[in-house]
A and B are shown apart, each in its own frame.
Chain A
Amino acid sequence: MSDTAHHGPAASLRRIRLIAGHTLGAALHQRLALLLAITGAALVLGARWLRDFNFGAAELKFIADFGLGAIGFFGTLLAALATAQLFCSEIESRAADCVLTRPVRRWEYLTGKFAGVVALLTLFVLTLVIVLGVVLAVRESQLGATLAPLPVFLQACALQWLKITLVAAMTLFVCSYAGSALFASCAGLLLALVAQLRGFAGGGSWAWLRVWPDLGLFDGEALLAAGHPASGGWLLSLAGYWAAYVLLFVALASYAFKRREF
């Protein structure tokens, strides 16, 4: 085997793809992902029967709001728990040792893990969006009303996806330091909560929150409530903000993980 086969961007990409596929396969065999997806889907399907909790909002708006909320809430749980579980379990079982002693660079391993989790989260969001879309379409035809244009609905769902993938990146950053899946899960969820509350940070004692990204900016529900699509410039800026933080967390995780010993 030639030494050049191990080097270069193509070789790196191939390894990242392999690790991502392996991670996704492991994730799909976990009960956690299935449980959260089923619970989320059941809640979205059951939104119609939760109208007892709906006051003052149109039914379609309530269903959409509730569905997006379920995607955001269960997606956040899945992003933090699955990332921690998939990353730490491989280290605890020493299977990671067999990967890291091959010509796989640490950053490739981390990027592959992250890509696998992102693929899982994409499948999760897609599944729930389809369920929510069907529920809304059925009620729209029954009520003869329209919630919002399709692009607005899709943009709102995309914001939820951006939010939960950013939670996964933050949890990956924690994992590069964590010694157990339990610690990584708890710390990942705590960071997600802190980042969600980040928008509330004023000055003084709240100032420390400002080092984390503001997940409140990815407010799909508000976009849907507004009823008109976000401007291209705003979406582009938000995507840039997301990309900057995802890259930062993956880079910081790689930096820390490179120095980690087993």
Chain B
Amino acid sequence: MPSAEAPWAVEFAAFAKSYPTGWTGGRIHALRPLTLQLAAGQVLGLLGPNGSGKSTTLKALAGLIAPTEGTCRIFGQAAGSDAARTLVGYLPEAPQFSPHQTGREFLHYCAGLSSLGGATATRRVDEVLRWSGLGEAAERKVGTYSKGMTQRVGLAQAVLHEPRLVLLDEPAGGLDPEGRLALNRLIRDLAARGTTVVFSSHLLAQAEEVCDRLVLLGRGRLLAEGAPAELLGAERDANPGPSRLEKLYLEKLHAHE
């Protein structure tokens, strides 16, 4: 359990986000009040289809959106505050980076923005290039990268400054099976180093494989949350396989409708 010295890595308290739909006073609820805690060093998977609130949850943690109600804290700091942003690494969904820069130049730029300079920046850039498997493509322009390589350079910039919390929005989007396996390995590696990881996915099998905890979201609502084993329970043992999670998700979604 977290203490005052070591607070929750992620803490949502009745966090809700809605947007006005125009002059009529109507609102779209992107996320209904969400209360959730995550301990440091865990891997949390946010699962759900498009429009379920996964990206909203990640953007709230990244400080890119402000709550309509409630709070969101990272290691005790308000999300989006100067202090919180030093603790976060973020990979947006399907990003496109400056095509005119090489992978190494882009990472050096990101290192500078995170106040890494000189030898430290060079060392960290080399490390993350190796870690993400981009060592050989480091001098190539980002514009020539494949989708998988772009995703890896995105992941590299997210972990470059050794953040305590890494947020990944649909990191497996558009990746082939080999790419997904590599991604899973990288996420597990981050967790092994004590980094807290929150990622969103609509690939239930992948989430089940790498997550310590799962959150099922549907139409902005929390449907279920817990460790994969807790959620799937005995059913998993009797009938192992990712289809169980899919079945569970559909059951929970229908129960809320």
- The short answer to whether A and B are in direct contact, CB under 8 Å, is yes
Q: How far is the CB of A240 from chain B (nearest CB, A)?
A: 33
Q: Are A98 and B100 in contact (CB under 8 A)?
A: no
Q: B98, A95: Cβ atoms under 8 Å?
A: yes
Measured CB to CB, the nearest residue on chain A to B160 is A102
B-side contacts of A228, CB under 8 Å: none
The proximity string for B residues 206-222 relative to A, scoring 1 for CB distances below 8 Å and 0 otherwise, is: 00000000000000000
Report A1-26 residues with CB < 8 Å from chain B CB. 1, 3, 5-7, 11, 14-15, 18-19, 22, 25-26
Q: Which of B59, B88, B113, B161: most chain A CB closer than 10 A?
A: B113
Which candidate, B21-29, B63-71, B190-198, is the interface stretch facing chain A?
B63-71
Q: Bound state CA distance, A22 and B65, in angstroms? A: 25
Contact with B along A84-96 (1 / 0, CB 8 A): 0000000001110
Measured CA separation A61–B91 after assembly (Å): 56
Instruction: Give A22 to B113 CA distance when docked, in angstroms.
Output: 11
**Residues in B79-110 with C-beta less than 8 Å from chain A:** 82-83, 85-86, 88-101, 109-110
A103→B100 contact, CB < 8 A: no
Residues of A within 8 A of B158 (CB): 98
| Complex CA distance for A244 and B97, rounded to whole angstroms | 34
Q: What is the distance, in angstroms, from A125's C-beta to the closest C-beta of chain B? A: 23
**Chain B contacts for A99, CB-based, 8 A:** 110, 113
Output the nearest chain B residue to A109 by Cβ-Cβ distance.
Answer: B113
Q: How far is the CA of A14 from the CA of B111 in the complex (A)?
A: 12
Within 8 Å of chain B (Cβ to Cβ): is A252?
no
| B59-A262 in contact (CB<8A) | yes
Q: Are A29 and B88 in contact (CB under 8 A)?
A: no
Chain A hits for B63, CB < 8 A = 100-101
Q: How far is the CA of A18 from the CA of B101 in the complex (A)?
A: 14
Q: Which of A3, A93, A94, A102 contacts B113 (CB 8 A)?
A: A102
Check A148 for interface membership: any CB of B closer than 8 A.
no
Contacts of B101 in A (CB 8 A): 25
Q: List 18 A-B contacts (CB under 8 A).
A: A5-B115, A6-B82, A14-B112, A14-B115, A18-B113, A26-B98, A93-B95, A94-B92, A97-B62, A97-B64, A98-B157, A100-B63, A101-B90, A102-B85, A102-B110, A105-B82, A261-B64, A262-B64
Point out residues on B near A: beta carbons under 8 Å.
Answer: 59, 62-66, 82-83, 85-86, 88-101, 109-110, 112-116, 120, 154, 157-158, 161-162, 167
Residues of chain A at the chain B interface (Cβ within 8 Å):
1, 3, 5-7, 11, 14-15, 18-19, 22, 25-26, 29, 93-95, 97-105, 261-262
